[in-house]
Chains A and B, each alone.
Chain A
C-alpha cells in the first residue's frame, strides 16, 4: 500500500511542460502527458510584450531581456551559445531553453549534425551550471511530441534520464 502511495506521489511530482507556437487545449496537453503546453502569445510572450516572456539568444535585445525581470527564459536559437551569453544567463538565473521542434523534420547527416550541436551546447551550459530546459516550440501539429518522447529526446541530448526529467519539468517557472 505504501509503495502504491509512493508511486502516486512520484507521479504527481512528474509535472511536464512544453511550449508551442500553436494553441494546445488542456485535453490535448493531458493526452500527451503534459500538465500544460504554454502557447507563445497567450501564456508566454516574446520579450518585451508581457509579464512572462521568453527572449531569443540571437536577438539584439538579448542583453536587455536577460537583465529584465519579465524574461524568465532564454531560447538558445543560435548554436553554439557563447560562453559570455551563458555566464549572463547564469548570473541572472534565467532558464536556457533548448528548442527541438526544428530538428524533428530532419533526416540523415543534417539530423546528426543538429543533435551534435545540441549535445555540445548542453555540455557547455551544464559545465557552467546554467538552468536548462527543453521545449518543442512547435509551429505545426507534426512537431508536437508527447511527454515520453520529449523525455527520450532530452535523454539523448543530456545522456541521463535524471537530467532529462529536470529539463522537461523546469518550464514550471512559467506557471
Chain B
C-alpha cells in the first residue's frame, strides 16, 4: 500500500505587502539557499494561498516544517527589488481549515 505523505501548513505574515504566490520562485530560491538541497527536498515548501496582502500559507512535508520556520527567520529580501521585509510564522497545523480556524481568520 502506498501512503500519501502528510503535510503541515504554516501561516505566515510579512512586514510589508508582498504577493508570495507570484514570487514563489524567488522565495523558493531564498529558502533553498538557507535549507540546502537536502533540507529543501525533505520539506518541499510551497506557497499555496495568499490570504491578504501580507498573510499567506506555506505547505511543507511533515517533519520539514521546523527547517522552513527557521529559514524564514533569515529571509529579509527576495533579491528582485521587492525591498527588505521580515516574515513572521504565526501558526502551524495539519489542515488549512484548522489553521484558519485556530488563527481566527475563518
Residues of A with Cβ closer than 8 Å to B? 31-33, 103-107, 111, 141-146, 148-149, 152-153, 155-156
B69 at interface (Cβ–Cβ under 8 A)? yes
**Known contacts A103-B74, A144-B86, A153-B70; 8 further A-B pairs (Cβ under 8 A):** A32-B88, A32-B90, A104-B73, A105-B76, A107-B74, A142-B76, A149-B69, A149-B88
- Within B1-50, which residues are at the interface with A (CB < 8 Å)? 13, 15, 33
Number of CB contacts from chain A to chain B under 8 A = 52
CA distance A136 to B93 in the complex (A): 25
Q: Does B89 contact A (CB under 8 A)?
A: yes
A153 surroundings in chain B (CB, below 8 A): 70, 73
A contact face: mostly helix, strand, loop, or mixed = helix
- C-alpha spacing A141/B16, complex, angstroms: 10
Residues of A within 8 A of B73 (CB): 104, 145, 149, 152-153
Interchain residue pairs with CB less than 8 A apart (27): A32-B90, A103-B74, A104-B73, A104-B74, A104-B76, A105-B76, A106-B74, A107-B74, A111-B74, A141-B86, A142-B76, A142-B85, A142-B86, A143-B86, A144-B15, A144-B86, A146-B88, A146-B89, A146-B90, A148-B90, A148-B92, A149-B72, A149-B89, A152-B69, A152-B73, A153-B73, A156-B70
Known: A111-B74, A141-B15, A156-B70. A148 touches B85 (CB 8 A): no
In the complex, the chain B residue whose C-beta lies closest to that of A108 is: B33
Q: How far, in angstroms, from A152 to B89 measured CA to CA in the complex?
A: 11
- In the bound assembly, the distance between CA atoms of A32 and B87 in angstroms comes to 11
In the complex, A145→B90 CA distance in Å? 10
